[in-house]
Amino acid sequence: MGHHPDLPANKAKLLKQQQGKCAKCGLYFKDGDLLEIDHIIPKSQGGKDEYKNMQLLHRHCHDQKTAEDSSAARGTHDKNQIIEELDESKGSRPVLKTSEKGDELA
């Protein structure tokens, strides 16, 4: 635990502190899981960049916590709210219109 050659030192330290478990869901990390460092108090909300303000989370748990942190910062407390953001790399596409028959493109 915390001794994998490809694991950065900061993640290894957090993994050892957390006894191999995700700080959000409490499940053990498995080989192949995507691990991310999370600031317990987000830096955008005044959190510091130090170990006592960091935790290791699964990627999906980190995404979920980030959404919750964003909602709390905006004053929204609905944890079931789905937040979608525009992916600028995809751009927008025009909407295709159908003919009066409804089966052919105009």
Least confident range of 15-19, 42-46, 71-75, 95-99:
95-99
Cα 64–Cα 67–Cα 73 angle in degrees, nearest 5: 140
The residue with greater pLDDT, 38 or 79, is: 38
Q: How confident is the model at residue 7 (pLDDT cuts 50, 70, 90)?
A: confident
> In the prediction, which pLDDT does 19 show?
96
Q: Taking 60 as the threshold, does the pLDDT of residue 79 lie above it?
A: no
CB atoms within 10 A of CB 63: 12
The residue with greater pLDDT, 97 or 68, is: 68
pTM of the predicted protein model? 0.63
